[in-house]
Amino acid sequence: MNELFIHKLKGLSTGQSHFLQLQSTCSDCRNGVGLVMSQEGLKKAARGAVAQHERSIAPDLARGMMLLLICIAHVPLYISNNAEYRTLNHPSGGDLLDNIIQFATMMIVDLRSYPMFAVLFGYGLAMIVTRQLAAGTSQQTTRKLIRRRCLYMILFGAIHALIVFSFDILTVYGLVGLLFGFLLFAPKRKLLRVIGWLSLIMVSLLLTQAWLLSGGAGAPMLDYSTLATSYGGAIEKRLFEYPFWVVYSLIAMPLIIPVLIGVWAGNKRLLEAPQQNQRLLKKISIIGITVSILGALPLALTVFGFWQKSTYLTALHSISGIFGGIGYIALFGLISARISAAGSRGKIVQALVATGQRSLTSYLLHSIILALLLSSWGFGLGKYFHSFEIFFIGILTWLILVVISVLLERKGHRGPAEVLLRKLVYRKSY
């Protein structure tokens, strides 16, 4: 049977042969069969990091836009001119323009950017495994590489959290990768079964949390490190905020499931071959974004007083955010399919892709820019602005990231954080 399979491969074009070899090798290696396709398949050392020409446009395009959502989601944390109540980090008060911005952010951004990030993280891990196994890397070596990558993400996240922004997400995703990395090599049924059980657990936890916290008028304004008046005071607060945030994120925020859904999507190569998966991507985007909007609407309407604030509405907003993150990813898959069919990339697409290729550097840099602009120990703009003005500071921050990424792309340089991570993870293979 193997002889017949190899004979058929010889009759295909080089590109088709490579694609089928990749798919068959990965499938068999994941199940421990280890079919040898060529002498190259005998290699045991990890192959190097993905080359520029191997990258698919869809994930990088999505990462570039994801960073805009993250910038917009984080800026309200620095608003310090209101000390009463917050809804999803948005302060009370403000005029009509502030309320409109809060409504739009709750509908489109809040608790949607992190699930989007999580899906892309899981997708990236799945593609690393696929490429390593296709290159003949042993499963044991690939597992070590994944563990090493996750450990360094935790390290990057810890440094990021203690120096500038305690609500770091890199640590959380690194821990998820360590805890659930074995599912990267699991059969499809087992992966889907785990996703199903974890979904039930997550919904139960969020509803329990809503019940325990019900009865309050809203979340009190916490003394965040982002509101500290001195840099030393901010570091002191981060030492307490950071571990609490990590534990809270793993238990009470729906982040594990999107990572595993990203693994499933990576195994199906939804973003690597968006043109072949347009029908599925369209279904996912329509269902995901529709559920996201419907789930976000009740809480968003509380901004205008049309609905009474409730912890159950927050839970609904959070659960529907998973659908939103997945729907956004599928939408960018469809957009990338259109771009590929057109055969050319405009300047805007090129800029977004360049930013997505440097998403780690951009993520770390956005925290530094926001802290310098808005913190009291920086320029202190957070004391003077409300939601409307702060929203545009988030957009400005993202535009700065895009410009820096484009300049690096023109000079042929990767992002410095990406270079460091690759050297640490791939070592001699880099």
* DSSP result, 395-421: HHHHHHHHHHHHHHHHTT---HHHHHH
Q: What is the structure's pLDDT at 222?
A: 59
Please tell me the distance from the alpha carbon of residue 149 to that of residue 147, in angstroms, as a whole number: 5
Q: What tokens appear for 387 in the block?
A: 């939601």
Which residue ranges make up each domain of the chain?
1-41, 58-425
Q: What is the structure's pLDDT at 389?
A: 92
Calculate mean pLDDT across residues 232-237: 92
Calculate mean pLDDT across residues 219-248: 85
Calculate mean pLDDT across residues 229-237: 91
Contact 226, 237 (CB under 8 A): no
What tens digit of pLDDT does each residue of 72-102 get?
Answer: 999 998 887 655 556 788 888 788 999 999 9
The overall average pLDDT reported for the chain is: 85
Please tell me the distance from the alpha carbon of residue 3 to that of residue 413, in angstroms, as a whole number: 44
Q: What is the structure's pLDDT at 16?
A: 41
Under the banding of pLDDT at 50, 70 and 90, the label for residue 167 is very high
Q: What is the structure's pLDDT at 59?
A: 92
Report the run of H or E that residue 87 belongs to, with start and end.
strand 85-87
Q: What is the structure's pLDDT at 93?
A: 77
Q: What tokens appear for 57 in the block?
A: 């446009």
